[in-house]
A and B are shown apart, each in its own frame.
Chain A
Amino acid sequence: MNTVRMNLAQLNIARLRFALDGPELKDFVDGLPEINALGDSSPGFIWRLIDEGGADATALRPFEDRDDILINMSVWESLESLRDFIYHTKHLEYMRRRREWFDHCGLEAYVVLWWVPEGHIPTVAEGKERLEHLMKHGPTPGAFTMRNPYPA
């Protein structure tokens, strides 16, 4: 019997098509505070990655040799709570425009989900490992996707 409650961790990476401070990314950058606040106050939200001294994770570069790849990571109570936020709020309008701002050229997988014990905050290194596992083996119970989820 599994007695530890599990939460859902998600990592997603995206390659910037233009400079983050350029006119092309203005709508994305301007929308961040509102969308992040919406996520933070959504039912089931537990944690999201924030860079040192910032309000979001846009200063972080998960791959040392790639200064055009951004990361975001968060933890949710359940798959449903994550789904409800990303697809059933204003966040969807933001997501609809993702390819105006980002692509995934050279990235085989760009979103990964996995279960963590309640109270565990995943590190970027841990998230990258899960992403690599997903790229190598496809969706498995330890690293999966929204479209091919596994139970906790």
Chain B
Amino acid sequence: MGMSEDAISAVGALGDPTRRRAYDLVVAAGRAVSRDEVAQGLGVGRTLAAFHLDKLVEAGLLEVGYGRLGARPPGPGAGRPAKLYRRSESQVAVILPPRSYVEVGALLAEAVERSGADLTLQGVARERGRAASGADMWEVLREWGYEPFTRDGDICLRNCPFHALAQEFPPLICGMSLALVTGLAEGAGWPVRARMRPEKGHCCVILERDKR
């Protein structure tokens, strides 16, 4: 499970600051975006935006699809689907010197699952969350990799930082994640309540704002 050339190339592709911003823009959109949108967001020309986007696709960080954005009035040009970009499902990890935390995580998760120690794991996650929190909720959630955004007044989490393990051990790992976020919220007194609301393609945890 060493580092692959692909992983190194993928990280290398983000070395260019404009390309990095292009990647961040696509990720933050949380949906497929067009070249024009990225060009506009970056303040660069369409050709340059397309160049960087295609480099990111080549590196496996973005996926390309074809579709129409929103409702367009019928007329010339309406029939041609646009090239759209979204974050790819693949996961890139480069750790130097080589370390295998994902594999260790899988072994530990299986051991916890077999011994039925879910509640111990939830307790540890909550304590860690409390101890590691900070006043700036958005910043803390971003640092943990949750990619928070607002929807219908709630704070949803676009990314599951534990995705690979959560796929394999959903009740265990999603339960841990909920306990961690609960701890983070308690630790700094954020005016929210963490809840489980599973949704495909997102983290299963959301933060409901306290109704006062």
Contacts and interface: CB of A to CB of B under 8 A. Distances in A.
A87 B116 contact: no
Interface stretch (B83-91, B96-104, B170-178): B170-178
Interface string B92-133: 000000000000000000000000111100000000000000
Interface residues of B, number: 16
Contacts of B178: 96
Interface of B: 116-119, 168, 170-171, 174-175, 178, 195-196, 198-200, 204
Contact of A104 (B116, B171, B200): B116
A91 B118 CA distance: 16
B196 A88 contact: no
Contact of B170 (A90, A95, A99): A95
Contacts of A93: 195-196, 198
A96 B196 contact: yes
A99 B118 contact: yes
11 contacts: A88-B199, A88-B200, A92-B171, A92-B196, A96-B178, A97-B175, A98-B118, A98-B171, A99-B117, A104-B116, A147-B168
A41 interface: no
A105 B117 CA distance: 12
Contacts of B200: 88
A95 B175 CA distance: 9
Given A100-B119, A104-B116, 10 more contacts: A86-B170, A88-B199, A89-B198, A92-B170, A96-B174, A96-B178, A97-B175, A103-B116, A105-B116, A147-B168
Chain A interface helix/strand/loop/mixed:
helix
A105 B190 CA distance: 38
B112 to A, nearest CB: 10
Interface size of A as a range: 10 to 19
- Best-buried of B116, B178, B195, B204 by chain A (most CB within 10 Å): B116
A96 B119 CA distance: 9
Contacts of A104: 116
Complex A-B, nearest 6 residue pairs according to Cβ-Cβ distance, in ascending order: A96-B175, A95-B171, A93-B196, A99-B118, A87-B170, A92-B198
A150 to B, nearest CB: 17
Interface string A75-112: 00000000000111110110111111001110000000
Interface of A: 86-90, 92-93, 95-100, 103-105, 147
Contacts of A89: 198
Nearest to A92: B198
Contacts of B175: 96-97
Contacts of B118: 96, 98-99
Nearest to B200: A88
Nearest to A98: B171
Contacts of A147: 168
A90 B174 CA distance: 12
Contacts of B168: 147
A4 B123 CA distance: 48
A17 to B, nearest CB: 10
Nearest to B166: A87
Nearest to B176: A96
A95 B171 CA distance: 6
A66 B188 CA distance: 47
A78 B51 CA distance: 42
A97 B168 CA distance: 17
Contact of B198 (A87, A98, A103): A87
